Chains A and B, each alone.
Chain A
Amino acid sequence: MKKDPFTLLIILFLTSLLALPAQARQIELSAELGTPVVEAGRAHKTFLKISLTGFELSGLKERTPANVALVLDESGSMTGEKLEEAKEAALLAVDLLNEDDILSIISYDSHVKVLVPATRVADKSDIRRAIRAMKAGGQTALFAGVSKGAREVRKFIDKERVNRIILLSDGQANVGPSTTTELGELGMSLGKEGISVTTIGLGAGYNEDLMANLAGYSDGNHAFVENPEDLVKIFNYEFGDVLSVVAQDLLIRIEFEDGIRPLRILGRNGEIIGREVTTRMNQLYSDQEKYVLLEVEVPEGTPDQTRDLANVTVSYQNMANRQQEDVHDKVTVSYSTSGEDVAKSRNREVVTTATKQVANEMSKQAVKLRDEGKREEAQSLLNSSADFVRSQGAMLGGEEKEELEAFSAEVESDADAITLDEEWDRTRKAIRAKQYRQDTQQNY
């Protein structure tokens, strides 16, 4: 059978149309060194940034269906405005979801109640009624609340859905397991299963370490909401994230070449075993960058030598085409005798990121010192961190200088706040949430 050229042309055009977006529909991976060219003749420490960017969703219709459990605190301390705003936020969630999505609502005080078992968001009025009926009273069985939420999510757990628990709490967990470690372990296990836990701390009474740990190990978001009226806004951001997931279950493997030593992972949990580093992310959002930052030691080299540094493989579940996909990248390092070459080749963006991340590690150290009662030391650590950030900015110049100046100013204001007694509860939560955002490149 012979086809006329015109038809062939049309077929060709159509296939190219189909193929074009399909090719663009992959996450972007780039692995870059802060200093891709290093001075020859001695060993160096440098930063490796593995950056992942989610592709843009072309339309609302395409979005990944969600499987969300709202786990809401209704302990005695929630009485009044807090509970009312929490209800508003939950009602907003009901509005944002549609019948492709699964929603369950769990409330907890001393006991756990499953207000809405996992169900398709079809009959919204029933769900709204259950939300409005919430009443505050009792203690805070946070662990049990999350566990029941996880069970509800598990009923419809699916790689092709965004599986998430959104936990709201305003108080200390005081019924059931309630150590930071235990909540972290739970988060780790849920993360492995593909369930992320977003933790939203309300007011100044909750345990920010516990909440950040639970979110961190399960790769969810963490937010500090000081005023109950901001709760609806935060839920809006959170659902913006949930509804824009483009990739899930990301496994990032970095194999370093002989002689290269990975020293530490900054801001994320991961395993360093010998020359192999593995870390995970549960999801990547549309048009958002997430990265893994490593400090590595590069051995000495001869001038003009170029050596392979690492192979990076990221395997993930692509939510657009529902395929398991891999992306690869390779990093090399060059040696030079010319200081100019070294400076010219410097990756300004990676250096900026690394600077912020290092400052973030120092901020964590400062909070630890403050917890131990060493206020002066904490303050001087933050001040030296601010100086370090500013000097890095001066070295880079340009746009990055301004960016780092602003960052440094923020660190300085933290340094002022960290010695103060009043509002330390509030300040600590704000700093902890900021650290968390920096570590996980959280959107809000």
Chain B
Amino acid sequence: MKKRHANLLLLIALVVLPMALLGWQAWRLLTSESDVQQARYDQLVEARLQQVDLTIQRYLESLANDWQQRLPSWPLDPRGVRTRLADEIRVRHLFLLGPDNQRLFPADPLSSDEQAFVERLEAIWRDPSLLQGNRPASESDTVASRAPALSNVFRKSARETAGIAPESGWYMWHWGAGTRLIFWWKSPGGETIGLALEPARLKSDLIGILPEDDSADYSIRLRDAAGQEIYRWGSYELEPGEQYHQYPLSYPLSSWALEYAGTPPTAAAAGFGLLLLLASLGLVLIGLALYLYREQTRELREAARKVEFVGQVSHELKTPLTNIRMYAELLDEQLEDEPQQRNYLGIIISESQRLGRLIGNVLTFSRTPTLHLTEVDIDGLVRQTLDHFLPGFRARGLEVRTDLQAGISINSDADMLEQILNNLLSNVEKYASGGGTVEVATSVADGHLLVSVRDHGAGIPAAERRKIFEPFYRIDNSLTEGVSGTGIGLTIARQQAGRLGGELLVSDARPGARFTLKLPLDRGETP
């Protein structure tokens, strides 16, 4: 039974171990794959937002280019610029500064709207050089530096930063919660024109150039300096607690930002294939294990059937054998004066006894016997058992010496004890009759009952001492040659000793061997 469990465990291990190993490898592959995908995704997001930023930059650039071309032809006097203002659809206000930085427009009389504008830009009138100072703090603030491949759009501004005094540029200022942009241009004559963009129009134009994509994969928002959303596209719904990824815009709208959220990359596709592979591999392994397990259990079942058959046959042999013995013994009693016939009958009886023991062994081996506990007088049992063997021993010239010191009765199974002794004595008869003497002793020591059988035969080599208790094992040497045996005697003896709560030990006795049955007294001793 134990062996079957072990086999099952082995088979399970055969399946589980490679699966676990493969699974671990697959997991490692997947995590590294998802890292790669995450990096790729981040790059994609970055590129996408950069593209949007660039679109916005291009728009501002095109406005700047347009004004750079048209402004030189403007009449640079208050009346002239006022008429031009009416046509500038993106400009809410403008100002004109003379070469001495004197404000020429708006100048009195001011409309109420102009009055507010003039008040808000007080700082510029005091120090017009502020316009030029309001530039990106470093190159890192422009799209050009963020995406070197796209830098040609910004080559000009780069040249401007390298030069001394730029002739035009953006000026960013804040009024209330809003970002306001002024495009300024300095004429060769030294006048400065500043065009203040209509903030709502700027937002509207940006919305116009941004996509109206409805993809469910992401959501992008453009928000202004105050954090107010201006426009969004993509219909991805954020998970609760999920945050937008922030991406500030380039100068001059650097206080604005793009916000991104989207479906995170999943290794699902790759993972699914791998999972499928693992699952099919697992199935193959399980199938193989099941096949092996069935093959093995089939052999075991067959063996069990054979044992069962032998047991059955042995059982059937028991009744006729008992009859043979009984009638032989009856005959023996009646033939008092026929020494020759009685001699023959003695042989029949002892042989049938031997056969009975043999069958008893087979039955014990094939079927687990149940214990029948009774009061057993140990010394009496030993004597009684020895009596059966005496004719055989005598025939082989074996002298029996007994030293029965136990003198107690124990609560045990008499049949089993007898069977153990039978097997031990039968072995002595078969293999150690050359030693001339067999010593049988009983004693009580350390709370144990000891029954020992010692022969003076060839002994058992140390290497074999463990193996002799294995079923069907027979020592392969001159000793066993020509002697028939089943190889289960000692096995059964040891098993029976175990069932009785004791043990059967073998020790070297030089010459010969000593088998000692050791039974605990506390298990069933009666005084």
A residues apposed to B, CB below 8 Å: 110-114, 141, 143-144, 146-148, 150-151, 154, 175-177, 181-186, 188-189, 192-193, 251, 271-274, 278
A110 interface neighbour in B90, B198, B200, B232, Cβ under 8 Å: B232
Q: Is B293 an interface residue (CB 8 A)?
A: no
Contact yes or no, B214 A143, CB < 8 A: no
Please pick, from B198, B205, B231, the residue contacting A176 in the complex, using a CB distance under 8 A: B231
A-B contact pairs, 12 of them (CB 8 A): A111-B214, A111-B232, A112-B207, A141-B231, A146-B204, A150-B204, A177-B200, A177-B228, A182-B200, A182-B203, A184-B200, A251-B86
A273 to B89, CA, bound (A): 20
Q: How many angstroms between the C-alpha atoms of A114 and B235 in the bound complex?
A: 15
CB distance A185 to B212 under 8 Å? Answer: no
Question: What is the 8 Å Cβ interface bit string for chain B, positions 99-111, against chain A (1 contact, 0 not)?
Answer: 0000000000111
Are B214 and A113 closer than 8 Å at their CB atoms? Answer: yes
Bound complex: CA A144 to CA B212 (Å): 10
Q: Which residue of B lies closest to A271 (CB)?
A: B111
Q: A189-B89, A189-B90 are in contact. Are A112 and B212 (CB under 8 A)?
A: yes
Check B110–A273 contact: CB distance below 8 A.
Answer: yes
Complex: A271 Cα to B106 Cα, angstroms: 13
- Interface flag for B199 (CB, 8 Å): yes
What are the residues of chain A within 8 A of B204 when measuring CB–CB?
Answer: 143, 146-147, 150, 186, 189
B201 CB contact (under 8 Å) in A185, A251, A271: A185
Known: A110-B232, A273-B109. 17 other contacts (CB 8 A): A111-B212, A111-B232, A113-B214, A141-B231, A147-B208, A151-B208, A177-B200, A177-B203, A177-B230, A181-B200, A185-B201, A189-B92, A192-B88, A192-B89, A251-B86, A272-B111, A278-B86
B229 touches A (CB below 8 Å)? yes
Please give the distance in Å from A111's CB to the nearest CB on chain B.
6
- Asked if B231 and A189 make an inter-chain contact with CB atoms under 8 angstroms apart, the answer reads no
Report yes or no: A183 in contact with B229, Cβ–Cβ below 8 A: no
Q: Does B233 contact A (CB under 8 A)?
A: yes
A189 partner residues in chain B, CB cutoff 8 A: 89-90, 92, 198, 200-201, 204
Contact B89 A193 (CB under 8 A): yes
Give the Cβ gap from B95 to chain A, nearest Cβ, in Å: 15
Contact B109 A175 (CB under 8 A): no
Give the chain B neighbours of A151 by CB distance below 8 A: 207-209
Q: Is A175's CB under 8 angstroms from B232's CB?
A: yes
Interface of B, secondary structure class, is mixed
B-side contacts of A110, CB under 8 Å: 232, 235
A113 to B201, CA, bound (A): 20
B86 with A192: CB separation less than 8 A: yes
CA distance A144 to B209 in the complex (A): 11
Q: Is the CB of B212 within 8 A of A113?
A: yes
Quick one: closest B residue to A138, CB to CB? B235
Give 3 closest A-B pairs by Cβ, nearest first: A151-B208, A185-B200, A147-B207
- Are B198 and A143 closer than 8 Å at their CB atoms? no
User: Binding site of A, secondary structure by majority: helix, strand, loop or mixed?
Assistant: helix
- Residue on B with the closest CB to A185? B200
Q: Which residues of A contact B87 (CB under 8 A)?
A: 192
Bound together, the chains give a CA A183 to CA B230 distance in angstroms of 13
Cross-chain contact B198 with A188 (CB below 8 angstroms): yes
Residues of A within 8 A of B229 (CB): 175-176
Q: Which residues of B have CB within 8 Å of A154?
A: 208
CB nearest to A182 among chain B residues: B200
**B198:A147 contact, CB within 8 angstroms:** no
Q: What residues on B are CB-neighbors of A273 within 8 Å?
A: 109-111
Q: Which residues of A contact B205 (CB under 8 A)?
A: 147
A297 CB to closest chain B CB, in angstroms?
Answer: 16
CA distance A159 to B233 in the complex (A): 32
Q: Which of A113, A143, A274 contacts B203 (CB 8 A)?
A: A143
The contact of A144 among B89, B110, B207, B228, by CB within 8 Å, is B207
A114 / chain B contacts, CB cutoff of 8 Å: 212
Complexed CA–CA distance, A110 and B200 (Å): 19
Specify which chain A residues have a CB less than 8 angstroms from the CB of B200 in the assembled complex: 143, 177, 181-186, 189
Chain A residues, CB < 8 A from B209: 151
| Nearest CB in chain A to that of B92: its residue | A185
Given the complex of chains A and B, what is the CA–CA distance between A111 and B207 in angstroms? 11
Chain B residues numbered 37-89 whose CB sits less than 8 Å from any CB in chain A: 86-89
Complex Cα–Cα for A114 and B210 (A)? 12
- Please report the C-alpha to C-alpha distance between residue A143 and residue B231 in the assembled complex, in whole angstroms: 9
* B336 to A: closest C-beta gap in Å: 121
Nearest Cβ on chain A to B175's Cβ, whole angstroms: 12
Bound: A143/B90 CA distance, A? 16
Give the residues in chain B near A113, CB-CB below 8 Å.
212, 214
| Across-interface contacts of B228 in A (CB, < 8 A) | 177
Chain A residues, Cβ within 8 Å of B89: 189, 192-193
A192 to B90, CA, bound (A): 9
Least Cβ–Cβ distance between A44 and chain B, in angstroms: 23
A147 to B233, CA, bound (A): 14
Residue of A nearest to B198 (CB): A189
